[in-house]
Amino acid sequence: MSSVVVVGTQWGDEGKGRITDFLALKADVVVRYQGGNNAGHTVEVGDKRYKLHLIPSGILHPDKYSVIGNGVVIDPEALVSEIESLEQQGISVKNLLISDRAHLIMPYHKTLDEISEDEKGEDKIGTTRKGVGPAYMDKTVRVGIRVCDLLDKEIFEAKLEYNLKEKNRLLEKVYGVKGFKKQDILEPYLEYAEKLKGYVTDTSVFINEAAKQGKKLLFEGAQGTLLDIDLGTYPYVTSSHPISGGVCIGAGIGPTLIHKVVGVVKAYTTRVGKGPFPTELNDETGDFIREKGYEYGTTTGRPRRCGWLDTVIIRYAIRVSGLSTIAVTKLDTLGGLKKLKICTGYKYKDKIIKDFPASLKVLGECEPIYEEMDGWDEDISDIREYNKLPENARRYLERLSELCDIDISLISIGPKRSQGIVLNSIF
Ligand code: IMP
């Protein structure tokens, strides 16, 4: 038995779906453990492009099990439509399993996400407005509704009634907008229940059994380290735990079941939403990276903010997730830039900071310290051997590895399954 966790080391959108899809070739079970349909993975197989939001990338491999763990928040409307869209594209979802303990995103969560973002004005977080934060809030204050509740009409109706009393008071009295009618939620949700019930099970039992039988497990993180509710750039974070520590809670396993943690590092940095970003490029180099790397949100279509690679962030991700190795993605995007910069530390007032700071005020005032390197012009997307990469591309990777004191196991140089270079096998 072996189990591998894949996490994002930056602000999400590192290309985890691409790496998970590749590693899933060797895995038996692929598990999502946090987040919801705020996530978005684009995976290209042959000439087809699949956009996944809730369902693990393992679904694109017909012989693997794909599990949505208890730590995920599920919008059943979105899940049903993702299942239907995959089926229409000829992808079987018969091996999908959904945790009976996962919490539901309800229509009022989406409304509250919208309203609280609008109310914050300039201070908005820039959420995906999918209701993820409010659903996790309800889970924490212990009024959330879970998948197992959805499958029991009486319980679901009672919990919905209880929640609507409170939510409608909030919506109508505090925000001055129309509340929800029970029937308008009950009817479609019971239809979703019918469509989903065949996939629902105790996924913790399934995963632990699979481990006992010697199956290979792959845990797929959504978002990234700096969006972690505890260790990210709070409050500009999501409401779950994308770091490796989130796996145990969100999948119902013990830490002794985890053997390797792979951090996915995009060859440069991007972020969506607000908050300080020390290496951000508000110039034509930033525009070049955005256009060449197609840096637009899979879920929202928003243009991503782009900047140089920041090794302060990568070292932080290595520490908080205990990374064993890294996979570097989108190296091809940097081709064509004459000079490349890597941030090695921050200058804050008259001090040099090597560890990622907690305070956003401090982070906002940090000036990146850069090392400049020569770029390469060649198109590297068809290269399959490390030694055939241009010398400057190899130097860039070697410097990243050196500055972070970690080995690189995989390099991806294009969106297709075949566009990768394997340096060390992970499973
Ligand atoms: P929420 O997860 O929709 O509540 O959004 C909270 C923050 O996380 C915002 O800054 C979002 O832009 C960011 N975020 C959420 N999901 C993703 C993702 O999959 N990639 C990148 N950023 C994300």
pLDDT tens, per residue, the chain with 427 residues: 699 999 999 999 999 988 998 999 999 999 999 999 999 887 888 888 888 999 998 899 989 999 999 999 999 999 999 999 999 999 999 999 999 999 999 999 999 999 999 999 888 999 999 999 999 999 999 999 999 999 999 999 999 999 999 999 999 999 999 999 999 999 999 999 999 999 999 999 999 999 999 999 999 999 999 999 999 999 999 999 999 999 999 999 999 999 999 999 999 999 998 899 999 999 999 999 999 999 998 778 889 999 999 999 999 999 999 999 999 999 999 999 999 999 999 999 999 998 999 999 999 999 999 999 999 999 999 999 999 999 999 999 999 999 999 999 999 999 888 899 999 999 9
Could you give the CA distance from residue 297 to residue 41 in angstroms, rounded to a whole number?
10
- C-alpha closest to that of 221 among 250, 198, 194, 196: 250
Pick the catalytic residue: 13, 21, 138, 332?
13
Residue 272 Cβ < 6 Å to ligand 1:
yes
Q: How far apart are CA 263 and CA 19, in angstroms?
A: 10
Distance 273 CA to ligand 1 centre (A): 7
Q: Closest ligand 1 atom to the C-alpha of 240?
A: 2
As a CATH number, domain 104-196 is: 1.10.300.10
Counting ligand 1 atoms within 8 A of each CB, the residue from 10, 38, 112, 116 with the most, and so the one to mutate, is 38
Q: For domain 2-99+204-260, is the CATH number 3.30.2000.10?
A: no
Position 1 scores a pLDDT of 64
Quote the pLDDT of residue 122. Answer: 87
Probe ligand 1: pick from 128, 229, 271, max atoms within 8 Å of CB? 128
CA distance 281 to 154: 54
Tokens of 141: 């204050």
Active-site annotation holds for 259:
no
Q: Is the CB of 15 under 6 A from ligand 1?
A: no
As its CATH architecture, domain 265-422 has Alpha-Beta Complex (3.90)
Determine whether 13 is an active site residue: yes
- What's the confidence (pLDDT) of residue 84? 97
pLDDT at residue 75, rounded to an integer: 98
| Residue ranges covered by each domain of the chain | 2-99+204-260, 104-196, 265-422
The CA 237 to ligand 1 mean position distance, Å, reads: 7
**Vertex 245 angle, CA 72 and 146, to 5°:** 25
The CA–CA distances, whole Å, from 1 to 24, 207, 306, 362 equal 15, 12, 39, 44
Ligand 1: nearest atom to the Cα of 35: 2
> 130: Cβ below 6 Å to ligand 1?
yes
**C-alpha dist (Å) from residue 405 to 10, 106, 427:** 17, 44, 21
Show Cβ contacts of residue 81 under 8 Å, excluding neighbours closer than 6 positions: none
Is any atom of ligand 1 closer than 6 Å to the C-beta of 242? no
301 Cα to the center of ligand 1, angstroms:
12
Q: Is 52 in the pocket of ligand 1 (CB under 6 A)?
A: no
106's tokens? 């309800």
Ligand 1 atom at shortest distance from the alpha carbon of 272: 12
Tokens of 98: 């959904």
Gap from CA of 425 to ligand 1 centroid (Å): 31
From the candidates 41, 53, 103, 109, give the one annotated as an active-site residue.
41
